[in-house]
Chains A and B, each alone.
Chain A
Amino acid sequence: MRLDSIALKNLGRRKAKLVFLLLGITMAIGTVVTMYSIITTMNVKLADTFDEIGANIIVVPKDEDTFTYGGFILPGTRESGLKNDDVIAINTIPNRENIATVSPKALGLMEIKGQRVMAVGVDFPSELRLKRWWTWIGEQPNKMEDLLVGSRAARTLGLQPGDTINVGEQTLVVRAVLAEQGTEEDGLVFANLLAVQQMTGRVGVLDMIEVAAYCTTCPVEEIARQIGESIPAAKVTPLAEAVRARRDVVDKFTSFAIGVSAVVGLIGFLVVMLTMLSSVTERTREIGIYRAIGYRRSHIYEIVLTEATLVGLLGGLLGYAGGTLAARLAGPGIAGMAINIPWNPWLGAIVIIGGVLVALAASAYPSRQAANLDPAEALRFI
């Protein structure tokens, strides 16, 4: 017979109380695990989705003679511009797995119906992946001769989807008109990258590359640095605004997760404390007997805290298993996105240790009450 046998047997005897105690700690830990699992996975997914939308890195040639396009500084001389191969260079940096989309651009002036407009040569699949908020009237542009015309440019030039335009020797088709964006894009005409390069006589030369990078596992500044090393002739600018916006979104979710976990953890703590307190009150006589037959206060602490440790261990284990299963089952529904939640042994170890610590902390006061019981009073000698 050892003191832990007494603790174990007491837990085994009071099955209803044990179930209640376990339920409290399992639910608290399970909820924390579920919240943590869903929100961390969702955060990564959300951050990645956020990173895919819009560029967070701009690559332009190192050129002091510049002009403004879409709010960005562009080179004026444009003889020593970026090359098509630089797209490959970006996709071969050490952190290439962080590169979501690379959208190269060539700029040129195009004369349509006697008016000069700014044409932006793009790779349509990449550009449309980057500008997911774009909507248009007409069909999705994809071919060499396709044009996507900004709303103001379409109005000014009198263009509609399906119109055909002759530009130099090329015949181009207005495939779609971009919905009004409220930006400089409304006055631009987007054409195939190669078509614009041919039209301007600068085949293989780029004026700008927009990059969307996943910044969860690698800071955007580091990715920009690697691109700069890979393309020495380029000026690479990480967009602090985009990074800050992404961080704000992720931080909000994290704060929400911490808040909910703290509330549930507190409820679990109170459930354990009240149950242990009631257990100590119920066992006043029993504790009086232990003290009378020579048990020290430290022995009583040991019995009560051993019970708490056992409950914490079991509750932590059940909470981890239940919480992860719940997250795997309900996660995609709650998050509203396809997320895959893995079994995380580190999380398991942390919550089991956490469960024991919560149970011990919640039992500190009840065990003190038990240890300080006056045996004469407990046995009603007084």
Chain B
Amino acid sequence: MSLISLQGVSKIYDSGEGKVAALQEISLEIATGEFVAVMGHSGSGKSTLLSILGALNPPTTGKVMVDGIPVYDLSIERRADFRSMYIGFVFQQFQLIPYLTAMENVMLPLAILKDSHAQQAAKAKEVLAKVGLGNKLHRLPNQLSGGEQERVAIARAIVNQPPLVLADEPTGALDTKTGQEIMELFRSLHREGLTIVMVTHNKDTLPYVERTIYMRDGRLEADTLSAKTAGAAH
């Protein structure tokens, strides 16, 4: 069953020197529970695609459905509610709030819900333990390594238990070994049933995903299943 459905999605920016097509007629389906990598060179449109999937950036044309909801038919405030319920973001460069501790950063998505402080704290502790930071709850981001900050960012993305996690270059700021650890973490989350769409240009991450979408100049160039997934499909 498709969790995400894009039909003829285009995004055209007015750059001041003329119109630039960041995405052109993209149509794709992503099923519930898939782990998808979106690859492509800089400027290929992969980050724009991610922001459109994340209900942050309305397409110029086309339809975006997530769990059967026409995302861009929602009002701006309802779209914020949608993001709160459906989407967990892992941003480039972690994007943690520097003056909040690891636990407080993870509690941020819960601050706008009706959970009590105790419930929020319990959930935050649980996910931080899950990502291996149960002993660093009260550290500020600058007291954590890059890998640890990435784990906090992942914990923040999953604390609401959204069905979909969107990750933008999650290993981009990490060394190879830490990058592998983070990909292992994503794999274990995926095995729990989470749908993950990850933008990357790091080919080392591909063994962890089920499906890779290649983009070039705003178009889908290729859409491939990993050997293991393809084997399983056959």
Q: Which of A293, A298, A382 contacts B108 (CB 8 A)?
A: A293
CB of A129 within 8 Å of the partner chain:
no
User: Is A296 an interface residue when CB atoms closer than 8 A count as contact?
Assistant: yes
Give the residue of A2, A297, A381 whose beta carbon is less than 8 angstroms from that of B57. A381
Whether A294 is near chain B, meaning CB under 8 Å from some CB there, is: yes
Interface residue count on the B side (C-beta < 8 Å): 36
CB distance from B37 to the nearest CB of A (A): 18
Complex Cα distance, B229 from A191, in Å, reads 124
Residue count of chain A within 8 Å CB distance of chain B: 27
Within 8 A of B (CB), among A340-382: 375-376, 379, 381-382
Residue-by-residue, is A287-298 near B (CB-CB < 8 Å gives 1, otherwise 0)?
001111111111
Interface residues of B in 89-132 (CB under 8 A from A): 89, 91, 95, 97-100, 104, 107-112, 117, 120
Does A299 make an interface contact (CB < 8 A)?
yes
* Distance A13 CA – B97 CA, assembled complex (angstroms): 11
Interface of B is mostly: helix
Complex alpha-carbon distance, A208 and B110, angstroms: 84
Known: A1-B107, A1-B117, A297-B76. A292 touches B81 (CB 8 A): no
A292-B56 contact, Cβ under 8 Å, with A9-B100, A13-B98, A381-B48: yes
Contact B13 A382 (CB under 8 A): yes
Q: Are A293 and B89 in contact (CB under 8 A)?
A: yes
Instruction: Report B115 CB to chain A, min CB distance, Å.
Output: 9
- What is the bound-complex CA distance between A379 and B81, given in angstroms? 18
In the complex, the answer to whether A381 meets B56 with C-beta atoms within 8 Å is yes
B93 CB to nearest chain A CB (Å) = 9
Could you tell me if B111 and A382 are in contact, using CB atoms closer than 8 angstroms? no
A285 within 8 A of B: yes
- Report the bound CA distance from A293 to B95 in whole Å: 12
A292 to B54, CA, bound (A): 8
B95 neighbours in A (Cβ, 8 Å): 285, 289, 379
Closest to B80 in A: A296
Q: Which residues of A contact B109 (CB under 8 A)?
A: 293-294
CB of B176, distance to nearest CB on chain A (Å): 26
B51 to chain A, nearest CB (A): 4
- Please determine whether B50 and A381 come into contact, CB atoms closer than 8 angstroms: yes
User: Complex: how many Å from CA A148 to CA B151?
Assistant: 99
Chain A contacts of B91 at CB under 8 A?
289, 292, 379
Q: Closest Cβ of chain B: how far from A302's Cβ, in Å?
A: 9
Tell me whether A262 is interfacial, beta carbon within 8 Å: no
Known contacts A10-B99, A379-B91, A381-B47; decide if A290 and B54 are in contact (CB<8 Å): no
User: Which of A6, A297, A376 lies in contact with B56, CB distance below 8 A?
Assistant: A376
> A298 to chain B: closest CB distance in Å?
8
The reply to whether B97 and A289 contact each other, CB–CB distance below 8 Å, is yes
- Whether B230 is near chain A, meaning CB under 8 Å from some CB there, is no
Interface residues of A in 291-319 (CB under 8 A from B): 291-299
How many angstroms from the CA of A296 to the CA of B87 in the assembled complex?
14
Query: Is B83 on the interface with A (CB-CB < 8 A)?
Result: yes
Is the CB–CB distance between B112 and A382 below 8 Å? no
State whether the Cβ of B24 lies closer than 8 Å to any Cβ in chain A: no
Q: Chain A residues with Cβ under 8 A from B111's Cβ?
A: 1-3, 5-6
A-chain residues with CB within 8 Å of residue B97 when the two chains form the complex: 6, 286, 289
Q: Which residues of A contact B87 (CB under 8 A)?
A: 294
Complex: A225 Cα to B81 Cα, angstroms? 71
Contacts of A379 in B (CB 8 A): 51, 56, 91, 95
In contact, A294 and B84 (Cβ under 8 angstroms): yes
Q: List residues of B (194-213) whose CB comes within 8 Å of A's CBs.
A: none
Once bound together, how far apart are the Cα atoms of A285 and B117, in whole Å? Answer: 26
Instruction: Known A9-B99, A381-B48; judge A294-B83 contact (CB<8 A).
Output: yes
* Nearest CB in chain A: distance from B136 CB, A: 17
Q: Kindly state the separation between the CA atoms of A2 and B104 in the bound complex, as whole angstroms.
A: 10
Please report the C-alpha to C-alpha distance between residue A247 and residue B47 in the assembled complex, in whole angstroms.
Answer: 72
User: In angstroms, how far is the closest chain B Cβ from the Cβ of A291?
Assistant: 7
Cβ distance A301 to chain B, nearest Cβ, rounded Å: 12
Of residues 31 to 62 in B, which have CB atoms within 8 Å of A's CB atoms?
47-48, 50-51, 54, 56-57
Q: Are A381 and B83 in contact (CB under 8 A)?
A: no
List the A side residues contacting B48 at CB < 8 Å: 381-382
The yes or no answer to A259 lying at the interface (CB within 8 A) is no
Cβ 8 A contact of B77, one of A3, A296, A382: A296
What would 10 more interface pairs be, CB under 8 Å, given A1-B108, A293-B84, A296-B81?
A1-B117, A9-B104, A12-B99, A291-B56, A292-B56, A294-B87, A294-B112, A295-B112, A296-B112, A298-B77
Can you list 30 residue pairs at the A/B interface with Cβ under 8 Å? A1-B120, A3-B112, A9-B104, A13-B98, A13-B99, A286-B97, A289-B91, A290-B108, A291-B56, A292-B56, A292-B91, A293-B108, A293-B109, A293-B156, A294-B84, A294-B112, A294-B160, A295-B80, A295-B84, A296-B77, A296-B112, A297-B76, A298-B77, A299-B112, A379-B51, A379-B56, A381-B50, A381-B51, A382-B13, A382-B48
**Nearest 4 A/B pairs, CB to CB:** A294-B84, A13-B99, A381-B51, A1-B107
